[in-house]
A and B are shown apart, each in its own frame.
Chain A
Amino acid sequence: MFQVRIHGRGGQGVVTSSELLSVAAFLDGYWAQAFPSFGSERMGAPVTAYCRIDSHEIRTHEPISIPDALIIQDATLVHQMDIFSGVSQNALVVINTPHSLDDPSIAAYIDGLEKVFNVPASEIARKHLGKPIPNLVLLGGLVALTGIITLKSLHEAILKRFTGDTGENNYAAAEELFDYVQNTFELPPPLSMPRRAEAIHA
Chain B
Amino acid sequence: MLEQLEGSKAVARAVAMCRPEVICAYPISPQTHIVEALGAMVKDTTLEHCEFINVESEFGAMSVLIGASATGARSYTATSSQGLLFMTEAVYNAAGLGLPMVMTLANRAIGAPINIWNDYSDAMAVRDSGWIQLFAESNQAAVDLHIQAFHLSEEISLPVMVCMDGYVLTHAIEPLDVPDQELVDKYLPPFIPRQLLDPEDPVSIGAMVGPDAFTEVRYLAHAKQLKALQKIPEISTEFERLSGRKSGGLVRTYRAEEADTIVIGMGSVVGAIEDAVDDLRDSGISIGAISITTFRPFPLDALREAVGNPKRVVIVDRAFSVGMGSILATDVALALAHNDIRLYTVVAGLGGRAVTGISLKQCLSKAVKDDLEKLTFLDLDVDVVERELTRMEQSKRSGPSAENILRDLGTTTPETEGQL
B357 touches A (CB below 8 Å): yes
Residues of A within 8 A of B174 (CB): 22, 32-34, 58
A36 close to chain B: CB less than 8 A: yes
Interface secondary structure of A, over-half rule: mixed
The answer to whether B354 and A62 touch across the interface, beta carbons within 8 angstroms, is: yes
- Nearest to B166 among chain A residues (CB) is A38
A66 nearest in chain B by CB position: B358
Q: What's the Cα separation between A181 and B354 when bound, in Å?
A: 35
What residue of chain B has the Cβ atom nearest to residue A35's Cβ?
Answer: B172
Identify which of B89-97, B220-228, B271-279, B381-389 touches chain A. Answer: B271-279
Q: Taking A35-B171, A38-B171 as contacts, is the C-beta distance between A61 and B4 under 8 angstroms? A: no
Q: Residue-by-residue, is B151-184 near A (CB-CB < 8 Å gives 1, otherwise 0)?
A: 0000000000000010111011111000000000
Give Cα distance in the complex from A171 to B163, angstroms: 38
Query: Is there a chain B Cβ closer than 8 Å to A120's Cβ?
Result: no
Which residue of the partner chain A has the closest CB to B273?
Answer: A59
- What per-residue 1/0 map shows which CB atoms of A41-67 lie under 8 Å from chain B? 000000000000000001111110100
B356 CB-CB contact with A under 8 Å? yes
- Flag B1-42 by CB within 8 Å of A: 1 or 0 each: 010101000000000000000000000001000000000000
- Known A-B contacts A22-B173, A32-B174, A33-B173; A38 and B116 likewise in contact (beta carbons under 8 Å): yes
CB neighbours of A27 from chain B (8 A): 4
Cα of A196 to Cα of B169 in the assembled complex, Å: 21
Q: Is the CB of B355 within 8 A of A62?
A: yes
Task: Assess A62 versus B357: contact at CB under 8 Å? Given A23-B4, A26-B4.
Answer: yes
Closest chain-A Cβ to B384's Cβ sits at a distance in Å of 19
Indicate whether A59 sits within 8 Å of B4 (C-beta atoms), given known contacts A33-B172, A34-B172, A35-B172.
no
B171 with A36: CB separation less than 8 A: yes
The yes or no answer to A31 lying at the interface (CB within 8 A) is yes
- Contact assessment for A35 and B173 in the assembled complex, using a CB-CB cutoff below 8 Å: yes
Q: Which of B6, B169, B175: most chain A CB closer than 10 A?
A: B175
Give complex CA distance A36, B170 in Å. 11
Q: Is the CB of A19 within 8 A of B175?
A: no
Complex Cα distance A63/B272, Å? 12
Instruction: Determine the residue in chain A with the shortest Cβ distance to B352.
Output: A38
**Max chain A CB contacts within 10 Å: which of B174, B268, B274, B275?**
B174
CA distance A65 to B355 in the complex (A): 12
The residues of B that contact A22 with a CB separation of less than 8 Å are 4, 173-174
Q: A31 — which chain B residues lie within 8 A by C-beta?
A: 175
Write the B163-207 contact mask toward A (1 if CB under 8 angstroms, else 0). Answer: 001011101111100000000000000000000000000000000
Contact B173 A38 (CB under 8 A): no
| Interchain Cβ contacts under 8 Å between A and B, 27 examples | A19-B6, A19-B173, A22-B4, A22-B173, A23-B4, A26-B4, A26-B175, A32-B4, A32-B174, A33-B172, A34-B172, A36-B171, A38-B30, A38-B116, A38-B117, A38-B171, A38-B352, A40-B116, A59-B270, A59-B271, A59-B275, A61-B168, A61-B172, A61-B272, A62-B354, A62-B355, A62-B357
Q: Which residues of B contact A (CB under 8 A)?
A: 2, 4, 6, 30, 116-117, 138, 165, 167-169, 171-175, 268, 270-272, 274-275, 352, 354-357
